[in-house]
Structure 1
């Protein structure tokens, strides 16, 4: 098996390409745009760069409490001394995305990966066709990987126009802050952008079809974020479903299913995504699709067609760049005969980049409430943490789940600034099957936010002792 052909240049595709070359195979990667896919170019890298800028505004919001005040006595708060240049922000984050894409392309080329600009599709499970500027090219393949990602879902009566009605890929074209931004969808994407733009000073209306924002996240975490959103001045319209949107002079009007209307300067549609599985020759070559149009794969990234694998959001397994990358690596390790373990979703850590962030790993509260796991749990509020007080962070908590008899940590939730970094300690505990005693005996820095993880372990030890006696 010498030839590997990959369709799609996102994390699933480019990570697989590097593994394929590492194992000595000829690797061709076919991508119609720039390398990096949506994760690098329009989704993860630019959106998190925007959020990083918004975090500066969060620190300024607490500046007076920390003793930092404007030099000009006419100003009441440090925020009044600055303005947000959205055009400059968007130029920077798009530049960062392009630079990251270029770095990945350079790395792939230096590793010997053949990069082809074009649209790939299956002729059969041994040949891939690429529609390029030079015509249709044929690439023989012993192994094929599909990693074509997803695109924003659209409502028939609220189609983005790129000016006032936008999807999340189009937000970066704005040069001035919206006067009033309506965000439809309170999942991860909607909540992250609503949080960032509110911190930048925009009047934000978040339209949610559910009772609580972030319905797919830990319910205790969602309550914290909802409270933070509301206290920041964000308007949340719960149990409201968008029906249609239309342009009005200097803005847009959203109509809800119950007939109510909301006017704003701009509208962001964040109502999910659709897999890019059309015109790839999948069904014709025996690749099974799910009812949602995603490619059905097993834990080795195999599709139903021999020699054809799939990775990333197009599989619908878990819409995370880290999962896409791991699926791509697993596909190569398995297909090329290297040592490999199946994808284990129980150890996946995920993060929501709101303010504060939400990070989770392992067993979830939803699974516990459904009776799927018998666990003991504890929740340590952040407001009691000394470091959090010093930094004026009061919203959030650390939650751990452990098995009742052994004390093995099987899951956790962190709601805090920098939760995406703190969750690594919990993730190590889950993957290594450490007990709450082992976690609490490891030294932490005082003062530190991570100290609350150790404290959670100590509290669970006490619970176990009480149960035994």
Structure 2
């Protein structure tokens, strides 16, 4: 079997690469070892978690109904039905990816792929594929902690946490990145006693510190217990509970534990030893700006090629990579224009430099803030805990970064992404008419606050 382009992995990087290759006239194949196409994002990541969080959002709102003059009696939920809803969403989208493969005449090979050298790929030890161009899009998997056994019963990874057979009464989440915080929001909304332990001095250590501190205050008010500057010293798995000793020697027993401490690239057992491909110190595949590896006509995109590990980054890289192969003169990916979203309650979104990063880089900055409790639409929604923070270069007016927490900020961040992509300035935002009443007015107000402060 011979192809122009073969993609290993069918996640949001892999299947987009395959589709774009087929659109440009390449004879294309995609290889997937799992039963369903779509990768971790679609099957065990972005999509199912957002489905679960939507359910918890509705339940939160129903419990608050009397604030809006609506009385609801006897409200309850069924965890099995919640999970069924989430899996139905996944199945619908996975079937959609299957359809797109058929529509674009992309051949799908099932099984584990292994590079065999000289542009050969072995699939499940049976089929052998010869491909002029090979794209590695194998993604990442959950990272484990030494000495902690993830058994799927008492100690979970993210996948286990999406399909519990019953809700625990108490839950410890190790790690406070996006995955840990989203699960904390979901389980907290369903009346689980949630505790987070984070080794750094604030939760969400990659976010702007002001946003992280505000998020911690809000989550604490919701009843989530947060231990920062702390870690796990010892963990004992009993019959139906876990005894945890923290680094401060405090011992607490939990029904279940979720390990959410980052990811590890899927570079094992894919035949890299038969190539010239090099790995970074963290184990990710090294590439240049066009996603070319050290092996001729072999590329790597998405999470396996390095952070940030985001589905939308992977999809964007896929298009750039394929268009470079086709000599279409694509643009370079501007990493500072990649938005990041966390779908907790409240939501968190960011783009560009944090305040700390901007200062470290030597920028002379001005900062504007707009708070949800002064925004008419937010007040009408009953969502008054929120902040939009804009970081601007004082001399040029460049939007260096934007950081948000509050209702639907994962939708608002697109405005800043567009401004940065178009190299807009604070004056461009100032002269833009934002509709009223909307939450998006906070973008305008935060920028105006920075401008007015300096005039």
Which TM-score band (shorter chain)? Answer: over 0.9
8 Å CA contact 2:369, 2:450 repeated in 1: no
Match of 1:17 in 2: 18
Contact 1:157 1:243 in 2 (8 A): no
In the alignment, which of 435, 446, 452 is matched to residue 445 of structure 1?
435
Compute the displacement of 1:195 (Å): 1.4
Question: Is 1:252 paired with 2:245?
Answer: no
1:125: Cα distance to partner? 4.5
Do the aligned residues in 1 keep the contact of 2:359 with 2:365 (CA within 8 Å)?
Answer: no
Match for residue 135 of structure 2 among 142, 145, 165: 145
> Match for residue 51 of structure 2?
49
The within-5 A match list for 1:28-427 is: 28-33=29-34, 34-70=36-72, 81-131=74-124, 135-427=125-417
After superposition, give the CA deviation of every residue in 1:45-100 in whole Å (9 maximum; x if it has no partner). Answer: 11111111111133234322222234x6xxxxxxxx21221111111111211221
CA offsets 1:307-330 (integer angstroms, 9 cap, x no match): 110011111231100011111211
* Structure 2 CA distance for aligned equivalents of residues 164 and 211 of structure 1: 27
Does the residue aligned with 1:170 lie in a helix, a strand or coil? helix
Instruction: Determine the C-alpha separation between the residues in 2 that align with 1:244 and 1:144.
Output: 44
> Does the aligned pair in 2 maintain the 1:125–1:141 contact within 8 Å?
no
How has the CA–CA distance of structure 1 residues 125 and 48 changed in structure 2, closer, same or farther, with 3 Å as cutoff?
A: farther
Query: TM-score by structure 2 length?
Result: 0.96
Partners of 1:401 and 1:410 within 8 A in 2: yes
Aligned to 1:78: none
Cα deviation, 1:348-370, whole Å, max 9, x if unaligned, reads 11101111111111232231131
For normalisation by structure 1, the TM-score amounts to: 0.93
- Take 1:166 and 1:335, find their aligned partners in 2: how far apart are those partners? 41
Alignment partner of 1:10: what SS?
coil
* Over 3 Å off, 4+ runs: none
Aligned counterparts of 1:254 and 1:305: Cα–Cα separation in 2: 46
Give 3-state SS (helix, strand or coil) of 1:204's partner: strand
| 1:258 to partner: Cα distance | 4.2
Cα deviation, residue 455, structure 1: 1.5
Shift of 1:26: 0.7
Cα deviation for residue 7 of structure 1 reads 0.7
Relative distance call for 1:335 and 1:125 in structure 2 (3 A) is: farther
* In structure 2, C-alpha distance between the alignment counterparts of 1:32 and 1:297, rounded to whole Å: 24
Distance 1:423 1:67, change over 3 A: same
Return the alpha-carbon distance in structure 1 between the equivalents of residues 274 and 245 of structure 2: 41
Q: CA deviation at 1:104?
A: 0.6
Q: Secondary structure at the match of 1:186?
A: coil
Q: CA deviation at 1:18?
A: 0.5
Q: What is the SS of the residue equivalent to 1:254?
A: strand
What's the secondary structure of 1:169's corresponding residue? helix
Which residue number in structure 2 is paired with residue 8 of structure 1?
A: 9
Worse-matched range after superposition: 154-163 or 307-316: 154-163
Q: Which runs of 5+ in 2 are unaligned?
A: none
Q: Name the CA distance, whole Å, in 2 between partners of 1:410 and 1:240.
A: 32
Deviation at 1:289, TM superposition (A): 0.4
**Alignment RMSD (CA, Å):** 1.7
| Distance (whole Å) between structure 2 residues aligned to residue 189 and residue 372 of structure 1 | 32
Count of aligned pairs between the two proteins: 453
For residues 390 and 296 of structure 1, what CA distance do their matches in structure 2 show?
A: 49
In 2 relative to 1, CA 178–370 (structure 1 residues): closer, same or farther, beyond 3 Å? same
How far off is 1:27 after superposition?
A: 0.7
Distance of aligned partners of 1:372 and 1:327 in 2 relative to their CA distance in 1, 3 Å threshold: farther
C-alpha offsets along residues 144-173 of structure 1, whole Å, 9 cap, x if unaligned?
100111111112322111112110111233
Distance of aligned partners of 1:333 and 1:211 in 2 relative to their CA distance in 1, 3 Å threshold? same
Q: Tell me the residue number matched to 2:425.
A: 435
Question: How far is 1:279 from its partner?
Answer: 1.3
